[in-house]
Amino acid sequence: MTTVEPATLEDVATVTDLWVELAAGQRAFGSQLVAAGNREAVREALARQAVSGGLLVARDDGIVGFVGFEPEGGRYEKRVETGVVQNIYVRPERRGEGIGSALLREAERRLRAGGVEAITLEAMADNDEAVAFYERHGYEPHRVTMRKSDSDSNQG
């Protein structure tokens, strides 16, 4: 049986490996992140999230998925306290079992328990499967991020 629970510092190495898989897979959808090249920075960020309680893992015989979350920071005063869900990932061979939904629900529950009233997250625009997953869970487009690279401007 798969359980969703807070990550420990002992989980960070495995979650880092899963993040590298996630980042490498996002290249197919236009991500510009260098997966393995960010391993150390991600490991440090995940360790901080594990210590602060902002990292959950889905576990059965091992870790099969993870999600990070935190209240949105910043210097600006807002009308609504907002939280951010980051980097939800389930091993490809375990998708379709409800693990991602369980991770998302628990992250949302913990954010709301901390006083968050609205939750944001990001998905690559071309990742139709991820966008559909979030829409099934009640998320709607809120902002649009647009990009133009030097190589784009030279094609015209």
Range of the domain at 14: 3-143
pLDDT of residue 15: 98
The average confidence (pLDDT) of the chain is: 92
Looking at the structure of the chain, the number of domains it has is 1
Residue whose pair of structure tokens reads 């391993």 in the numeric block:
39
Residue 149 belongs to a domain: no
Beta bridge partners of 90: 65
Task: Give the domain CATH number at 25.
Answer: 3.40.630.30
**85 within a domain of the structure (yes/no):** yes
Q: Is residue 23 part of a domain?
A: yes
Measured CA to CA in angstroms, residue 22 lies from 34, 48, 66, 154 at distances of 11, 19, 11, 30
Q: Is 150 within the bounds of a domain?
A: no
Structural domain includes residue 111: yes
Q: Which of 6-10, 60-64, 121-125 has the lowest mean pLDDT?
A: 121-125
Band (151; pLDDT cuts 50, 70, 90): low
Q: Bigger pLDDT: 33 or 66?
A: 66
pLDDT digits (tens, 9 = 90+) for 60-107: 999 999 999 999 988 888 889 999 999 999 999 999 999 999 999 999
pLDDT at position 34, please? 86
Q: 156 lies in a domain?
A: no
Least confident of 31-35, 108-112, 150-154: 150-154
The whole model's pTM is what?
0.88
